[in-house]
Structure 1
Amino acid sequence: MARPVVGIIGNSYLMNDQYPTHAGGTMNSDAVSNVSDCLPLLIPADPRYVAVEELLEVCDGFLLTGGRPNVHPEEYGEPATEAHGEFDRARDAITLPLVRACADRGQPFFGICRGFQEVNVALGGTLYPEIRDLPGRQNHRMPPDGSLEEKFALRHVVTLTEGGVFHRVLGAAEVMTNTLHGQGIKTLGENVVIDGHAPDGTPEAIYVKDAPGFTLSVQWHPEWDAANDPVSRPLFQAFGRAVYAWAERNEAARLQRMA
């Protein structure tokens, strides 16, 4: 059969400070295509162009990518402040109901950075606007200078729940990750389980308890060097297996209806 389709959530940008675009990092497409072995499809995350119902039919799974804009705090009942940074309300309008629908249906999604935060907010959780301002927390933001290799370099340990979902997928109770985020989980959404923490207590790995499908999400960026990194590779491989399983079940159901 043809490779199943993974919808990669795009972000809105102004090219050359003038031309509006929807874009996605090539490392996301590379990880989906070459590690998950799925067909990457970039989604313009804007309800003017796509509907959640359409996406659920066209795609077999979803990669909820990182991005500079943050989830608008009104989505979790708080006023916007300067500390919350930039927003993308159009993306909020697509991804938040998409997460809820996928969690209910068992359709696989893999959340990364902003995507990790979207999962928590979609299920009723809240976020801190700036982790580094909290007592005892370290600065998790991307280094302002240096090459991409330096910015995406491994920077801290994530300790996983012994015997938990991530431990089983990764085969280790501690893993090294990069860190390029400013916000983080404040209160948990319904059925959201923290399965890994940074040394300062910041939640770094979550899943949705009792959801029938793949719902793993991470606060770091596993798309960087995903084919070679010993943490990223098994995550994208597990996601790919879940997407294939969903696509095969859908195809079997379609053939049964035609019989």
Structure 2
Amino acid sequence: MARPVVGIIGNSYLLNDQYPVHAGGQMNSDAVADVSGCLPLIIPSDPRHVSVEELLEVCDGFLLTGGRPNVHPEEYGEAATEAHGEFDRARDAIALPLVRACVERGQPFFGVCRGFQEVNVAMGGTLYPEIRELPGRMNHRMPPDGTMEEKFELRHDVTFTEGGLFHNVMGKSRVRTNTLHGQGIKEPGPRIVIDGHADDGTPEAIYVQGAAGFTLAVQWHPEWNAADDAVSRPLFTAFGDAVRDWSARAARPALKAV
């Protein structure tokens, strides 16, 4: 039997500082293939090449990956500043309406880091441009130097709501995670449930209230060492189960306007 397809939302980069590419980290594909048990398919996230309607038909679920570019603040009604960093408006144009369409259809997605922020913005929320500048917050950014192992080292705890969705998926209410992000949730969207926080109060785990499908998103990077990490594995396993459930349905809902 063919594996269900997970579209991996890619980013635009310059290879060797001159050759434009659409790319997704290998660890994302590894997590989808090896832990979720699905077929990873990297999406060129640009409305010139793909449409949300096409993606919904081709893919069974979506992984909204991390990436250096940030969601443009115009998407949540604010002006861009130097603190907001780099942007990828083409990805914004695909990922944000894709989230809303998946929520409407009950189609599963899993948001990671920037993907976590995309879910909040797509559902009407806002972002802080730089978490570490807020009083009482730690520096959540990736260490600038060191090996990959050192950059993805587990650096802080996340506490989930007792009896909440993440608690049920994880089987525990407190876990230790890596942290490699600069931005974070300022105001959650009206349907966004913040189900986990770092000790400094930073939102780290969310889902969409009342959504029929899998809408979990985390601010850390569970794709790192996903097959062997006790925190990452249950997330990608639950996501894979949700994608298979969607794929196995005999009839899918008709597309609605995004």
Q: Tell me if TM exceeds 0.5.
A: yes
TM-score after normalising by structure 2: 0.97
Task: After TM superposition, give the deviation of residue 181 of structure 1 in Å.
Answer: 0.1
* 3-state SS of 1:35 partner: helix
Q: Deviations over 1:126-159 (max 9, x none)?
A: 0000000000000000000100000001000000
TM-score after normalising by structure 1: 0.97
Task: After TM superposition, give the deviation of residue 167 of structure 1 in Å.
Answer: 0.2
Q: Deviations over 1:158-182 (max 9, x none)?
A: 0000000000000000000000000
Q: Deviations over 1:201-246 (max 9, x none)?
A: 0000000010000000000000000000000000000000000000
Aligned residue among 225, 233, 251 for 1:253:
251
Q: Which residue of structure 1 aligns with residue 117 of structure 2?
A: 117
Q: Distance in 2 between matches of 1:190 and 1:208?
A: 9
Query: How many equivalent residue pairs?
Result: 252
Q: Distance in 2 between matches of 1:86 and 1:141?
A: 15
Q: Distance in 2 between matches of 1:181 and 1:56?
A: 28
* Letter of the 1:84 counterpart: H
* Letter of the 2:143 counterpart: P
* 3-state SS of 2:237 partner: helix
Moved over 6 A (4+): none
Task: After TM superposition, give the deviation of residue 190 of structure 1 in Å.
Answer: 2.1
Q: Matches of residues 188-203 of structure 1 in structure 2 within 5 Å?
A: 188-203=188-203
Identity of aligned residues (%): 81
1:140 pairs with 2:127: no
Q: Matches of residues 159-178 of structure 1 in structure 2 within 5 Å?
A: 159-178=159-178
* 3-state SS of 1:159 partner: strand
Q: Matches of residues 56-71 of structure 1 in structure 2 within 5 Å?
A: 56-71=56-71
Task: After TM superposition, give the deviation of residue 66 of structure 1 in Å.
Answer: 0.1
* Letter of the 2:201 counterpart: G
1:207 pairs with 2:215: no
Please provide the CA RMSD for this pair: 0.6
Q: Which residue of structure 2 aligns with residue 181 of structure 1?
A: 181
Q: Distance in 2 between matches of 1:61 and 1:226?
A: 18
Q: Distance in 2 between matches of 1:112 and 1:204?
A: 10
Q: Distance in 2 between matches of 1:23 and 1:104?
A: 28
* Letter of the 2:251 counterpart: A
Q: Distance in 2 between matches of 1:190 and 1:46?
A: 27
Q: Which residue of structure 1 aligns with residue 16 of structure 2?
A: 16
